[in-house]
Amino acid sequence: MTKVTMTVNGKTRTAEAEGRTLLAEWLREGVRLTGTHIGCDTSQCGACVVHVNGEAVKACSVLAQEIDGAEVTTVEGMANADGSLGVIQQAFQDYHGLQCGFCTPGMVMSTAALLKDNPQPTEAEVRHYLEGNICRCTGYHNIVKAVMAASGQQVAPVAAE
Amino acid sequence: MYNFELVKPTTLQDAVAALKDDDAQALGGGQTLLPTMKARLAMSDKFVALSGVAEIRGICTDDDGRICIGGGTTHADVAKGATDYPALASTAARIGDPAVRNRGTIGGSLANNDPSACYPAAALASNATICTPDREIAADAYFQGMFETALEEGEIITEVKFPVPQKAAYEKFIQPASRFPLVAVFVAKFSDGVRVAVTGASSDGVFRWSEAEAALSDNFSAEAILGLSAPSSDGMISDLHGDATYRAHLVKVMTARAVKAAI
């Protein structure tokens, strides 16, 4: 075991890691931040997406020891300072961008990465960017609406006319 | 996955030294290797992470006009940085998904030589040179079959040099679950001829379709491809996503599309 220290959501966190310990495991079991979800554990579903040094990565496919010293942002870091929901989180709530909610942490983190690079994406760009995030409730339409709303763009009403 | 010791060199010299250990294996971005280790299909007592070796990252142009990409450069960085070779940047931009592209590296992809990976097609069609600490290997000699390359044990890719074609395009027929190509074709037109490399189709891995190269060198048009027979289905991959005959057919279709898309 080796002590690994990272800045997680602005706070210094230290926990032990084996060579094989994945960032997702280190966050969940070492630091007890369980907002990062492990869905498939095969790098396909994107539920574990977090930001490492500002870039979206799948936390189940990065070794904790490898990124010792990194700055990490997880879904727990997406709320406002007063604890209220951040813009992206609020948009997911407003537009019902989640059903069971399991994929949501990864969706929110991928959305944040997309909007940082492309603040006003088209709907097609949103769908393309989120191709690595799988929602097994298949609620993609509302997820896309939530992302469009989070980017400050017009969104068609959710309820059927 | 089984436990191992992780070594994190920060210089190429230290990485090469660490890999002299018989039990050590290189770890690039880990986007294929880590899932393979989790499935216990790969293991080693020691892994040498190359992500901390800054000198094998980055993109530049050499005196011959070739785009030179460090082996540790991520797909995302190639997508953004290889602006002088748009077809290569576009290939990198379509590998996996955004999070995978932020970690996966060109050196890792070429060293693994997955029979359905994208970069082997780009490197072979571009007549790229694969560089290691001690030698340079021409793409034609580098790819030696499914998951087989000219690399020796412990040898790592430090740089890949891509000659820039006059026109090129990469067209892939995507397998939506894995986001790997079912079949994909990279076409590159140089002043002295056309090279066509196919991935995803053959159980021997990436290959050049010589009949298409001859036809396109004579007449660079989709019609030149449509006049050919599809390549033989002998040795093509057959699985639940598509049988050998279908893959052979797709080779022709995707080659014609790549020629149309070439800029």
- The per-residue pLDDT for range A95-124, each reduced to its tens digit, is 999 999 999 999 999 999 999 999 999 999
The residues on B that touch A, with CB distances below 8 Å, are 1-6, 8, 27, 30-31, 34-35, 37-39, 47, 49, 51-52, 76, 96-100, 102-103, 177-179
Q: Do A57 and B51 touch (CB under 8 A)?
A: no
* Structural domain that includes position A30: 2-77
Among B6, B100, B178, the residue with its CB nearest the CB of A65 is B6
Interface residue A43 vs chain B (CB under 8 A): yes
pLDDT at A158: 52
pLDDT given for residue B177 in this prediction:
81
Contact assignment for B30 to A55 by CB distance below 8 Å: no
Q: What CATH number does the domain containing A32 carry?
A: 3.10.20.30
**Would A126 be classed as within a structural domain?**
yes
Q: Are residues A96 and A144 in the same domain?
A: yes
Q: How far is B78 from chain A (nearest CA, A)?
A: 15
What's residue B263's pLDDT?
A: 75
Q: Say which of B4, B5, B98 has its CB closest to residue A132.
A: B98
How many Cβ pairs within 8 Å bridge chains A and B?
74
Question: Cβ separation of B100 and A43 shorter than 8 Å?
Answer: yes
Q: Which H/E stretch holds residue A4?
A: strand A2-8
Boundary (domain end) residue, out of A20, A46, A77 = A77
Average pLDDT, chain A: 95
A16 lies in a domain? yes
A66 to B100: CB separation less than 8 angstroms, yes or no:
no
Task: Choose, out of A21, A63, A127, the residue to mutate when testing the contact with B (most B CBs < 10 Å).
Answer: A63
Q: Is residue A57 part of a domain?
A: yes
pLDDT of residue B179: 82
pLDDT of residue A160: 46
Domain boundary among A41, A56, A77: A77
The reply to whether A73 and A121 lie within a common domain is no
Rounded CA separation B33/A118 (Å)? 30
Kindly state whether residues A66 and A91 are assigned to the same domain.
no
Total domains present in chain A: 2
**B4 min Cα distance to partner chain A (Å):** 5
CA B1 centroid distance within chain: 26
Decide if B5 contacts B45 (C-beta within 8 A).
yes
Same domain for A8 and A70:
yes
Pairing of strands B136-138, B129-131: antiparallel
B193 forms beta bridges with B190
* Closest CA relative to residue A63, chosen from A20, A32, A31, A34: A20
CB-CB under 8 Å, A63 with B49: yes
Cβ contacts of B27 on chain A, cutoff 8 Å: 63, 66
* B167-261 topology per CATH: Enolase-like; domain 1 (3.30.390)
> Do A66 and A36 belong together in one domain?
yes
Q: Are residues A43 and B51, on separate chains, in Cβ contact within 8 Å? A: no
Who among A22, A46, A63 is closest to B99 (CB)? A46
Name the token pair of A152.
């400050």
The verdict on A73 and A93 lying in the same domain is no
- Is A112 found in the same domain as A135? yes
Two structure tokens written together for A92: 């997911």
Q: Are A8 and A68 within one domain? A: yes
The nearest CA of chain A is from the CA of B144 a distance in Å of: 28
Pair (A57, A101) in one structural domain: no
B1, B5, B6: which to substitute to probe chain A, counting the most A Cβ within 10 Å? B6
- What is the predicted pLDDT for the residue at A93? 96
**CATH 3.30.1330.60 describes domain B5-162:** no
* Distance in Å, alpha carbon of B34 to nearest chain A alpha carbon: 6
Closest partner residue to A66 (CB to CB) among B3, B8, B38 is B8
Which residue on chain B is closest to A47 by alpha carbon? Answer: B99
B98 to A22: CB separation less than 8 angstroms, yes or no:
no
A120 found inside a domain: yes
Which of B98, B103, B178 shows the shortest C-beta gap to A110?
B98
Kindly list the domain boundaries of chain B, sorted by start residue: 5-162, 167-261
With a cut of 70, list the residues of chain A below it in pLDDT.
157-161
Question: A46: which chain B residues are within 8 Å (Cβ-Cβ)?
Answer: 97, 99
| pLDDT score at A149 | 97
CA distance A161 to chain B (A): 33
Using CB atoms, pick whichever of A43, A63, A129 lies closest to residue B35.
A43
Check for a shared fold between B5-162 and B167-261: no
Q: Which residue of B has its CA nearest to A42?
A: B35
Residue A158 domain-assigned (yes or no) = no
Do A64 and A119 fall within a single domain?
no
As averages over each run of 10 residues, the pLDDT of chain B (263 residues) reads: 96 97 96 94 96 97 97 98 97 96 98 97 98 98 97 97 98 89 98 97 97 97 96 95 96 98 89
Tell me, yes or no, whether A64 and A113 share the same domain: no
Inter-chain CB proximity B31 and A43 less than 8 Å: yes
Q: Of B4, B31, B76, which is closest to A19 when you measure between CB atoms?
A: B4
Domain boundary among A45, A77, A109: A77
Looking at the structure, do residues A91 and A70 belong to the same domain, yes or no?
Answer: no
The pLDDT of residue A161: 43
Q: What is the ipTM of this complex?
A: 0.94
